[in-house]
Amino acid sequence: MALAKPTPSSLSELEFISRRLEEDIALGRILPRERLIEEELADRFKVNRHVIRQVLSDLEGIGIIVRQRNKGATVRDLTPVDVENIYSVRELLEGKAAEMIKLPPDPAVLAELKDIHRRHSAAAASGNFTDVFRLNLLFHKTFFAACGNPQLAEAIQNFALKAHIARSLTISDPALLKRAVGEHGQMIQLMEAGDRKRFVKMVVDHIIPSKDAYMENYRRRFGMAKP
Amino acid sequence: MALAKPTPSSLSELEFISRRLEEDIALGRILPRERLIEEELADRFKVNRHVIRQVLSDLEGIGIIVRQRNKGATVRDLTPVDVENIYSVRELLEGKAAEMIKLPPDPAVLAELKDIHRRHSAAAASGNFTDVFRLNLLFHKTFFAACGNPQLAEAIQNFALKAHIARSLTISDPALLKRAVGEHGQMIQLMEAGDRKRFVKMVVDHIIPSKDAYMENYRRRFGMAKP
DNA sequence: CACGACAGGATTGTCAACAAAATAGACAAT
DNA sequence: ATTGTCTATTTTGTTGACAATCCTGTCGTG
């Protein structure tokens, strides 16, 4: 998992840096409202400032950073209302995808999911949050790709990324992590069992704890008042 | 509606050019698989090539053009499967939004929709396709913004844009256009009547004719065979 | 005639320098 | 103590030139 800069050409270089920044944001290494300064990033990734510029533009398109003309980029600061809205769409999209996934699933897909799940569990057990993050992403990507509609899968991916900003402050909570890993295991079991109804419910419910954690964390920081 | 380049600074300039290219693609002035050459566009819009580069990158992110390294950008060529997939997501998102829109609607929103509808009808009657396109976009944008979830509204907007590539070959069909305008009128009526069930069905069914038109056009060009 | 190597032109990718704008800090005035 | 204003510094935006890559047509060779 520890990748060095693999890139001969820079189309993948953009991807690499984007992923890395998404990761930093999701893991709370860069916090909401924090500034992202082009030259600093250029130095850090040993790359021309223009590459960073492009990356920031992409991240803005995805919706995880905000840019103001002549003022630079900051990590987007989601309000509870934003978070509710994002999770509401996620529920819709992921529920639909869960209804579309063939049950029982394609053996190759199932095997891949099991493998990722195994590695994800291991990373969680050893407290390697970076790997946990990547493998969680990979699990969901592989999982939803199985719905057969790449457009839908991509939209799910995009909204999951947005939600990651909201999760950044609570993502390293061991209890949440343990629960998520367990739920992945259950999802696999329900797939094999071919129990559509419980499977769909499991998928939809799976995203709730992280939202709740955000909300609780927010209340703890700002009080009960709904602004 | 005939806007001149309004832009003092170039953040809005990007928007302006993006919209213009989207329009050209949607109206079939630039066809699927057609190349988009950076320098040509730079000349056309009297702007530096870097600006075009940025725009192309954005359009790639939206998914209406495809870029290959060192080979340039082309308008994305959707397959019938792509189109089915896109419309399937549109149905899901727009149906959900229709369920969320307050009925009867906010008077201000209703008034705005009626005004746009009136202008849209007029443009359709006079055969001004550019205005038809813009006003149709505006109608849907205003309409779905009323669902109260900006994240959902944005996703709907994005998928509608993708669908526009598919519509480009049939967008100027007068029968389709007349039907669409009529359906907008009905949507407004059902909103006022507060008839949720028929309203939602109307919204979901509204997107079907354009998909059917694409499919028929595709069959006419390539035969019945499903590739 | 078919095929492949090789130029030449067209197109995209990268970079470094310059211009414009915004921020931060010092200092003065209320 | 707070606000306002000016200047120096930081940061972002824009441009032109150059490098790398790909495509096209041509020519020679079997």
What CATH number is given to the structural domain containing A116? Answer: 1.20.120.530
Residues with CB under 7 A from strand C: A 9-11, 13, 47-48, 50-51, 69-71; B 35-39, 49-50, 53, 67, 69-73
Say how far apart CA A1 and CA B214 lie, in whole Å.
44
Chain B residues lying within 8 Å of A150, measured CB to CB = 85
pLDDT at A11 over 80: no
Beta strand pairing call for A65-68 and B35-36: unpaired
Q: State whether B89 and A152 contact (CB < 8 Å).
A: yes
The residues near A89 (Cβ < 8 Å, ≥ 6 apart) are A159, B93, B149, B151, B152, B155
The beta-carbon neighbor of A151 closest among B11, B85, B151 is B85
Question: CA-to-C1' distance for B83 and D22, Å?
Answer: 31
Q: How many domains does the structure of chain B reveal?
A: 2
Chain A residues lying within 8 Å of B54, measured CB to CB = 57
Q: Which site among A15, A49, A89, A154 would you substitute to test the B interface, given the most B Cβ atoms closer than 10 Å to its Cβ?
A: A89
In percent, the amount of chain B with pLDDT more than 90 equals 87
Under 8 Å between Cβ of B17 and B46: no
Chain B residues lying within 8 Å of A91, measured CB to CB = none
Say how far apart CA B211 and CA B138 lie, in whole Å.
20
Q: What is the pLDDT of residue B171?
A: 87
Give the nearest chain B residue to A147 (CA atoms): B85
Query: Does one domain contain both B122 and B196?
Result: yes
Nearest chain A Cα distance for residue B27, angstroms? 23
Nearest chain A Cα distance for residue B149, angstroms? 6
- Structure-block tokens of residue B150: 């900006």
Under 8 Å between Cβ of B152 and B11: no
Confidence category of residue B225, pLDDT binned at 50, 70, 90: low
Under 8 Å between Cβ of A55 and A172: no
Nearest chain B Cα distance for residue A58, angstroms? 8
Say how far apart CA B93 and CA B207 lie, in whole Å.
12
Beta strand pairing call for B35-36 and B72-75: antiparallel
Q: Which of B75, B97, B121 finishes a domain?
A: B75
Tens digits of per-residue pLDDT, A163-186? 998 888 888 889 999 999 999 999
Query: Does one domain contain both B99 and B61?
Result: no
By the CB < 8 Å criterion, does A86 face chain B?
Answer: yes
The residues near A103 (Cβ < 8 Å, ≥ 6 apart) are A191, A194, A195, A196, A199
The CATH number linked to A62 is: 1.10.10.10
pLDDT at B200 over 70: yes
By the CB < 8 Å criterion, does B126 face chain A?
Answer: no
Say how far apart CA B95 and CA A24 lie, in whole Å.
36
Tens digits of per-residue pLDDT, B15-35? 999 999 999 999 999 999 999
Chain B residues lying within 8 Å of A93, measured CB to CB = 89, 92
SS3 B67: strand
Query: Does one domain contain both B71 and B84?
Result: no
The beta-carbon neighbor of B69 closest among A11, A54, A162 is A11
Q: What is the pLDDT of residue B13?
A: 86
Residue matched to tokens 């001004």: B128
More confident residue, B127 or A6: B127
State phi, psi for B156 to the nearest 5 degrees. -60, -45
Range of the domain at A170: 80-222
Mean pLDDT over residues A22-47, rounded? Answer: 93
Tens digits of per-residue pLDDT, B63-95? 999 999 999 999 999 999 999 999 999 999 999
Under 8 Å between Cβ of B42 and B51: yes
- Structure-block tokens of residue A66: 């905000």
By the CB < 8 Å criterion, does A58 face chain B?
Answer: yes
Chain C positions within 7 A of any protein Cβ atom are: 11-16, 20-23
To the nearest 10 degrees (0 to 180), the angle between helices A196-206 and A208-222 is 20
Query: Does one domain contain both B46 and B155?
Result: no
Query: Does one domain contain both A151 and A193?
Result: yes
Q: Which of A75, A106, A123 finishes a domain?
A: A75
Say how far apart CA B89 and CA B155 lie, in whole Å.
10
Q: What is the pLDDT of residue B1?
A: 33
Nearest chain B Cα distance for residue A223, angstroms? 24
Under 8 Å between Cβ of B32 and B164: no
Q: Is residue B6 part of a domain?
A: no
Question: CA-to-C1' distance for A52 and C3, Å?
Answer: 46
Nearest chain A Cα distance for residue B85, angstroms? 6
CB atoms within 10 A of CB B221: 8
Say how far apart CA A181 and CA A120 lie, in whole Å.
7
Query: Does one domain contain both A86 and A71?
Result: no
SS3 A223: coil
In percent, the amount of chain B with pLDDT more than 70 equals 93
pLDDT at B190 over 90: yes
**B128 DSSP 8-state letter:** -
pLDDT at A227 over 50: no
State phi, psi for B28 to the nearest 5 degrees. 75, 15
Confidence category of residue A12, pLDDT binned at 50, 70, 90: confident
Query: Does one domain contain both A146 and A202?
Result: yes
pLDDT at A10 over 70: no
- How confident is the prediction for chain B on average, in pLDDT? 92
Q: State whether A96 and B93 contact (CB < 8 Å).
A: no
- How confident is the prediction for chain A on average, in pLDDT? 91
Chain B residues lying within 8 Å of A86, measured CB to CB = 151
Q: What is the pLDDT of residue A7?
A: 37
Under 8 Å between Cβ of A213 and A167: yes
Mean pLDDT over residues B165-187, rounded? Answer: 93
Nearest DNA or RNA nucleotide to A70 (CA to C1'):
D12
Q: What is the pLDDT of residue B2?
A: 31
Say how far apart CA B59 and CA B73 lie, in whole Å.
10
Say how far apart CA B105 and CA B43 lie, in whole Å.
46
Confidence category of residue B43, pLDDT binned at 50, 70, 90: very high
Query: Does one domain contain both A122 and A207?
Result: yes
Q: Is B209 left (phi over 0), alpha (psi -120 to 50) or beta?
A: alpha
Mean pLDDT over residues B147-163, rounded? Answer: 97
